[in-house]
Amino acid sequence: MPSGQTHDRITLWSLPVVAGIAFGQTQSGNITLILSGAYLFSGLMFGPDLDLYSRQYQRWGYARWIWIPYQKTVKHRSILSHGFAIGTILRLIYLAIWLSILGLFFLGIAQFVWNVGWHWQTWWETVKRSLTHHTTEWIALCLGLELGAMSHVISDWSHSTYKRQQKQKNRNLPPQRGKIVRKKETGDRRELREPRELRKLREQRKSRKS
């Protein structure tokens, strides 16, 4: 699996490409900025490696503790963290739950201290209005988050596939001639076997001496 530094480089190097394609398809600086920002955020802080102690996890700073239950629940490199669309959707739901809990907590304090008025209905109407009037922006946001996650998953998959092919290639190589081969037997005993040519040569030398 590539290191965290390698994943960061892939994210940063591919960002201009993502931004260029987004602007070429939409001709909108606003949409391009949202998609590129979401792609960068997902690649550096909101990617699949939040399921373990990683660079992405450490970048959350003092708030990284919110991902500890996620790490204990989701197995590393499972479909729930590295799966197409599923991983990003699950992380969005998880983060939304935490934001709701923290928001209610601070809102309760604000109501108690400053008597701030607030109703669920007002909040829900605001969310629906935002989704209706800014549908394209929300789609760009979700697409950027998913592209950032998929760049991570694809690099993981490519690296694992390459290592597996190299291991299989080395396993299929024929043994070198003239080299002593170790054969493991029962217990701790090990027998050294010499190639057939060396054994014949040794027997011929013994027969000549005799």
Ranges of beta strands (E only) in the chain are 181-184, 190-193
DSSP designation for 38: H
- What is the mean pLDDT of the segment spanning 40-68? 94
- What is the mean pLDDT of the segment spanning 52-78? 93
- At 187, is the pLDDT very low, low, confident or very high (cuts 50, 70, 90)? very low
**53 backbone dihedrals φ, ψ, rounded to 5°:** -75, 100
Distance CA 122, CA 109 (A): 19
Pull the structure tokens for residue 191: 């027998």
More confident residue, 155 or 189: 155
CA-nearest of 77, 85, 81 to 1 is: 77
More confident residue, 196 or 30: 30
Q: Kindly report the pTM of this predicted structure.
A: 0.74
Distance CA 2, CA 92 (A): 24
68-72, 109-113, 176-180: which is most confident: 68-72
Is residue 89's pLDDT more than 80? yes
Distance CA 192, CA 74 (A): 48
Is residue 209's pLDDT more than 80? no
Cα–Cα distances (Å) from 124 to 44, 141, 161, in that order, read: 31, 20, 46
Is residue 32's pLDDT more than 80? yes
CA-nearest of 11, 39, 19 to 143 is: 39
Q: Cα angle at 110 between 107 and 115, to 5 degrees?
A: 120
CA-nearest of 89, 86, 56 to 71 is: 56
Distance CA 210, CA 201 (A): 14
CB-based burial of residue 145 (10 Å sphere; 0-12 exposed, 13-18 middle, 19+ buried)? buried
